[in-house]
Amino acid sequence: MKSRATRSDSIDTPALGEAAGEEGSEVGAVEVGAAEGERPELIGGTSYNLTRLEKAVSDLAHDHADLKARAEKLEVAVAERDSTIQKLESEIDRLGNRSKTAIQRLDVLVSELDRLDAELGGEPSE
């Protein structure tokens, strides 16, 4: 992905100082000494290469649309993973509570067995 417009070999544009039919001609060259911030005058009356600018803007717009679509897909994937994580965490909590309940019930049963064993005259087991 290009981040800014640069000279491209795929677009035929004259380089500075290249001749447009005769050597030494300065067609396409920017006038030297143009004040900063002013639009430079072109020698030979040639116009700016708007086609290249339009292509660069079009490419950037296309890249932006692609990245936006990709970001939306990633946001959906993240939301799905968050949902899965929440489900798994609730399942872990549920199983943890179930385990605690089972341990408490076993402790009560062991205590009851120890009490019954003591009532019947046996030694409590450890």
Q: What is the mean pLDDT of the chain?
A: 77
**Residue 96 pLDDT more than 90?**
yes
Single out the residue of 62, 91, 75 nearest to residue 1, CA to CA.
62
1-38 pLDDT, tens per residue? 445 555 544 555 555 444 444 444 444 444 444 455 56
Q: Is the pTM of this model over 0.85?
A: no
Query: For residue 46, which of 74, 71, 72, 16 has the smallest C-alpha distance?
Result: 16
Question: Could you tell me the CA-to-CA distances from 112 to 7, 98, 103, 108, 125 in Å, in that order?
Answer: 89, 21, 14, 6, 12
Structural domain boundaries of the chain?
Answer: 49-119
Other Cβ atoms less than 10 A from the Cβ of 88: the count is 10
At which residue do the structure tokens 């067995």 appear? 113
Answer yes or no: is pLDDT of 79 > 90: yes
Which pLDDT does position 39 carry in this prediction? 58
Cβ contacts of 36 within 8 Å, gap of 6 or more: none
Predicted confidence (pLDDT) per residue in 51-75, tens digit = 889 999 999 999 999 999 999 999 9
